[in-house]
Structure 1
Amino acid sequence: MRKRKDGGELYSRRDEVEALIDRLEELPRDELIERMRIATPTHPDFLPPECLLHFVRKSKHDNSSRQFELMYKALIARVERAATVAGAVHYVDGKRAITARAAKIIEAVIFAFEVKLTQDRNGYYDGLDYFEINFASAVKLLRSTARTKIDTEEDREQPLSYNDDEAISPEVEAAAGSFDPFNLEKIDDPTYRSALGAAIKELPANERQVVVLMLKGYQIDSNEPSTTTIRSILGCAEKTVRNRRDRALDKLRQALEELE
């Protein structure tokens, strides 16, 4: 590796990764690729992603497009796994599902990584060196950048602001009023809980605040001055809280109906 730290010292891999790479160098390439494709971390032959990246980078000297393609697929699967945050994945009827926002972030992370890998194969890109030192941390940085960019783009697509004092349309109010996302018959279903949690995370911050406080059992308002309410916690009018609640419930209803 060629990248240097601020003090001028070259980047270096962890000792255990360096030792493992030395042992893997002795394996026939087909056997190495089989080990690279193992995706279960508890498997005795599972390889750290830093090893996969090392051999993918080195493969440009092997003159084998087949071997590169197989190693590349195994590496990208690790990038996707590292880019997937907890709570983004849930299961519907036993099938894996993921939120739209999380899918966008993963796609952006993979694209950014592929750009770096392409630069490296066209010469040497020392921006990949840190991935060989701490793969998870490096992907986390890509994920943070992607999340910020996507949030900014989504904010531009949204109306500049809602008028919280403006009356909610009768359709939204009726739909929200007839929908209870915390239905006791459904909330015990782990699949439903997972999907609900993912949908709540997609809400705008002010609407998400109201829903989370409702989940914690707070009332919107109370005639008892000593009672802590959502209105008092957020420091806004009762109508504002109800409008945010109705918009949030309508979005949750639509998200959960799509899953069903």
Structure 2
Amino acid sequence: MVEPLRMTYPNGVQYQRRDDVEAMIGQLEQLPRDQLIQRMQISTPTHPDFVPPECILHFVRKSKQDNSTRQFELMYKALLARVVYAGTVPGAYHYVNGKQAITGRAAKIVESVVFAFELKLTKDRNGYLAGLDYYEVNFADSIKSLRSTARAKVDREESRNEPLSYDDDEAISSEVEKAAGAFDPQNREKIDDPVYRSALDAAISKLPAEERSVILLSRKGYQDASIDPDVITISSLLDCNDQTVRNRRKRAIGKLKKALEELE
């Protein structure tokens, strides 16, 4: 029997997966994990072995019981592809010099959606996030809600007309290098201080979205990049190269250092 969801409606009725999803989870549980993961990587909905995202999410959540980091990473990579697909706004792509490219605004929205989802999944793996149950009921609608929130957030940020006077791939200026220095926001001598942690979290929340994402993903232990394509990295999550990740981190650390020094 498939493990039931725990979230309930205000009237006390328990959330229920769709019948087809429930049935498929039961069938997929009989497969060897390698075969299951191969099926999860099929992205064409009309393919006979296509696995709905609700099912993938179920197994990703369940994988914490298996104690297999590699299986989790492979399944999460397949799930992330579904999050990106559902989180991409209509008209997100255009052509530049004959090549398809995503618009800057659409990229920010997708990044925000992915990050919001990743935070929910992290909380679920640390315990059980009942709010994630609805994603097993209606994944598309859930991601659409995240996308709507992300779009509003991006629009607010753009309306502030905050100038970006740098290119992510350009070399970091000497001023930024000096500001970042050897400063470590996660200083072990300070991080246990709740006042310091609160101030650090507040400073991180004020960073531009691109820099904030790098810092928060770094705190969760993700690597910048890896030669192993099966390893989930910051550059793969944010769809940028490792140099861009390093540049964003240095700019972010410089700003955090300044903010925390001003507090002191």
Could you say which TM-score interval applies, normalised by the shorter chain?
Answer: 0.5 to 0.7
**1:15 matched to 2:19:** yes
Which residue matches 2:160?
156
Q: CA deviation at 1:45?
A: 0.7
Which residue matches 1:196?
none
Q: Tell me how large the CA RMSD over aligned residues is.
A: 1.4
Which residue matches 2:60?
56
Q: CA deviation at 1:153?
A: 1.2
What secondary structure, in the 3-state scheme, does the structure 2 residue paired with 1:96 have?
A: strand
User: Hey, what's the Cα distance between the residues in 1 that align with 2:94 and 2:56?
Assistant: 28
User: Hey, what's the Cα distance between the residues in 2 that align with 1:47 and 1:54?
Assistant: 11
User: Hey, what's the Cα distance between the residues in 2 that align with 1:18 and 1:27?
Assistant: 15
User: Hey, what's the Cα distance between the residues in 2 that align with 1:91 and 1:37?
Assistant: 27
Which residue matches 1:101?
105
What secondary structure, in the 3-state scheme, does the structure 2 residue paired with 1:42 have?
A: coil
**1:123 matched to 2:132:** no
Q: CA deviation at 1:82?
A: 0.1
**1:45 matched to 2:49:** yes
Tell me, which stretches of 5 or more residues in structure 1 are unaligned? 160-260
Q: CA deviation at 1:155?
A: 1.0
User: Hey, what's the Cα distance between the residues in 2 that align with 1:95 and 1:124?
Assistant: 43
| TM-score normalised per structure 1 | 0.59
Pick aligned residue for 2:85 from 49, 69, 81:
81
Q: CA deviation at 1:113?
A: 0.1
Q: When the two structures are aligned, how many residues end up with a matched partner? A: 159
Q: CA deviation at 1:127?
A: 1.2
Max Rg structure = 1
**1:33 matched to 2:37:** yes
Tell me, which stretches of 5 or more residues in structure 2 are unaligned? 164-264
Give percent identity, aligned residues only.
69
User: Hey, what's the Cα distance between the residues in 2 that align with 1:22 and 1:96?
Assistant: 39
User: Hey, what's the Cα distance between the residues in 2 that align with 1:95 and 1:42?
Assistant: 27
Q: Cα–Cα, structure 1 residues 116 and 18, in superposed 2: closer, same or farther, change >3 Å?
A: same
Q: CA deviation at 1:50?
A: 0.2
Q: CA deviation at 1:63?
A: 1.0
